[in-house]
């Protein structure tokens, strides 16, 4: 027998009875199948290992290895499990047939077999197998898509992270570099100041000014440029009046700490004229130290926050199903997108929510997509409102933006995979479709939206009940 595959299929017919084999070959030939014949179970198994078959016709009662044993073997082997098996059996042997079907046979053909019935049953089995193969291919494809979307997500995340970390990292580094010089400057100023012993009232004046400096660094005053410039000039004049060298350098630093010349005037009453220059130099260098310290500290704190947000964002796929605080999830997603929030007003209207069972990593992808889309629509101006509330038995999360809205004619398509209005290179169009999938299929929730000119709101409902998966 040649093993060329015909369009109809390649069948293995197993029967120990010569007459049956003749009839089977004849029928299979008529139906346009190519086939091989086997006399017993052992031969049959040897052949399935050597050739690929689309289906097997299997007699039950055979010597050496019977139909049951063949079935058991086939269904126990992952590589062979999918092969459809139709058992051929005498009609009064229904118990055997039932047993075979319980063992995984797909159908049965009564003996003496009817060629029309063979055609129908074989056709049906092959069709079913084809559908099964298609479904498998589709699921594999979908998994690949999900993986690539996840990777794209992670890619965007990393880019955002790098961007976000850049500034605080640079600020911290600059601060650290300048710290050495600032310490040196302050030491020199201190030495000069302490060349003459200080009287109690003088120490008190300096202490009080230092406190002002510390407060000013902790909560910087906001002056408009005009006011700031005026103050600097005023201080510069005051410093020059006391022959302070490089008054123009000290003036800005002091202007940042003190709101008016009057704050410094108390120095005039506490110190003799010739001591003013070292005192102001000391104050200024102290101010610089405080400023640098704050700057380094802020930078480091910001870096820490970003790293934490990333950790909380990505570490969550360790434990698949968790009780999740949705408000926290939203905040952590916002933290990730902070670099894009400039100019955009963020309103948070968080309700009190119980923890909800969910897959945090996937849910965060949903919030990321929704926020991403909102920010894209806003183009740096307008506002985003995040709303959460409990509507028993579900948590409701809303992401609303004041962007131009989704055009009416496109609204029915937005959840379609690969649908996007972004230019090429800016998004594949899987964000909303995969979000919908995560909410509806993975979390048994609901996702809806409404949009018109100047307003778009996405709503996600997450039920609290336990769900399988």
Size of the site for other proteins (CB under 8 A): 19
CB of 108 to other proteins, least distance (A): 14
- Among positions 391-450, residues that touch other proteins (CB under 8 A) are none
* Whole-number Å distance between alpha carbons of 334 and 353: 18
Nearer to other proteins, 59 or 236 (CB): 59
Task: Mark the segment that binds other proteins (CB under 8 A) among 10-18, 121-129, 144-152, 257-265.
Answer: 10-18
- Among positions 76-115, residues that touch other proteins (CB under 8 A) are 90, 92, 111-112, 114-115
Nearer to other proteins, 110 or 427 (CB): 110
Contacting residue, 12, 13, 14, 23, with other proteins by CB under 8 A? 23
CB of 125 to other proteins, least distance (A): 21
Encoded tokens for 142: 């979908």
CB 54 within 8 A of CB 9: yes
Nearer to other proteins, 16 or 185 (CB): 16
CB of 43 to other proteins, least distance (A): 16
Task: Mark the segment that binds other proteins (CB under 8 A) among 12-20, 138-146, 279-287, 427-435.
Answer: 12-20
Contacting residue, 18, 144, 184, 187, with other proteins by CB under 8 A? 18
CB of 100 to other proteins, least distance (A): 15
CB 351 within 8 A of CB 390: yes
- Among positions 25-64, residues that touch other proteins (CB under 8 A) are 26-27, 30, 61-63
CB of 129 to other proteins, least distance (A): 26
CB of 110 to other proteins, least distance (A): 10
Task: Mark the segment that binds other proteins (CB under 8 A) among 18-26, 159-167, 262-270, 441-449.
Answer: 18-26
Encoded tokens for 12: 């293995």
CB of 23 to other proteins, least distance (A): 7
Contacts of 411 (CB under 8 A, 6+ apart): 449, 451
CB of 45 to other proteins, least distance (A): 18
Examine residue 16 and tell whether it contacts other proteins (CB under 8 A). yes
CA-based torsion, 188, 193, 196, 198: positive or negative: negative
* Whole-number Å distance between alpha carbons of 397 and 440: 14
Interacting residue ranges for other proteins, rule: CB under 8 A: 16-20, 22-23, 26-27, 30, 61-63, 90, 92, 111-112, 114-115
């Amino acid at each position: 027998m040649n093993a060329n595959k015909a369009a109809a299929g390649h069948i293995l017919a197993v029967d120990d009875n010569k007459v049956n084999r003749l009839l089977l070959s004849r029928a299979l030939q008529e139906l346009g199948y190519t086939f091989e014949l086997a006399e017993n179970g052992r031969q049959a198994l040897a052949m399935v290992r050597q050739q690929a078959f689309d289906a097997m016709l299997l007699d039950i009662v055979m010597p050496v290895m019977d139909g049951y044993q063949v079935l058991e073997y086939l269904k126990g082997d992952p590589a062979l499990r999918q092969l459809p098996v139709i058992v051929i059996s005498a009609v009064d042997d229904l118990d055997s047939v039932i047993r075979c079907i319980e063992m995984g046979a797909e159908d049965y053909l009564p003996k003496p077999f009817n060629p029309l019935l063979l055609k129908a049953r074989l056709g049906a089995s092959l069709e079913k197998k084809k559908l099964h193969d298609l479904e498998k291919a589709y699921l594999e494809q979908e998994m690949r898509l999900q993986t690539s979307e996840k990777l794209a997500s992670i890619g965007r995340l990393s880019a955002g992270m790098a961007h976000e970390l850049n500034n605080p990292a640079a600020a911290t580094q600059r601060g650290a570099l300048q710290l050495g010089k600032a310490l040196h400057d302050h030491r020199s100023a201190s030495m000069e100041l302490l060349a003459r012993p200080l009287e109690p009232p003088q120490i008190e004046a300096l202490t009080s000014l230092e406190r002002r400096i510390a407060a000013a660094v902790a909560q910087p005053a906001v002056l408009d440029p005009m006011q700031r410039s005026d103050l600097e000039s005023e201080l510069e004049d005051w410093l020059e009046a006391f022959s302070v060298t490089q008054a123009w350098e000290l003036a800005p630093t002091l202007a940042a700490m003190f709101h008016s010349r009057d704050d410094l005037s108390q120095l005039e009453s506490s110190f003799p004229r010739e001591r003013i220059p070292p005192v102001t130099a000391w104050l200024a260098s102290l101010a610089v130290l405080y400023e640098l310290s704050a700057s380094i500290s802020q930078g480091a704190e910001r870096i820490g926050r970003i790293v934490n947000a990333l950790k909380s964002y990505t570490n969550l796929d360790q434990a698949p199903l968790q009780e999740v605080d949705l408000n926290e999830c939203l905040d952590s997603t916002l933290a990730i997108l902070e670099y894009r929030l400039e100019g955009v007003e963020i309103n948070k209207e968080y309700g009190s929510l119980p923890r909800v069972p969910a897959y945090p990593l996937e849910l965060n992808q949903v919030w990321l997509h929704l926020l991403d889309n909102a920010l894209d629509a806003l183009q740096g101006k307008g506002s985003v409102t995040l709303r959460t509330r409990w509507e028993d038995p579900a948590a409701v999360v809303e992401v609303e933006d004041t962007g131009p809205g989704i055009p009416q004619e496109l609204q029915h398509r937005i959840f379609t995979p690969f649908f996007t209005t972004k230019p090429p290179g800016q998004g594949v169009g899987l964000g909303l479709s995969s979000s919908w999938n995560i909410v509806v299929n993975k979390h048994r929730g609901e996702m809806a939206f409404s949009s018109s000119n100047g307003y778009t709101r996405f709503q996600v409902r997450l039920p609290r009940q336990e769900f399988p998966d």
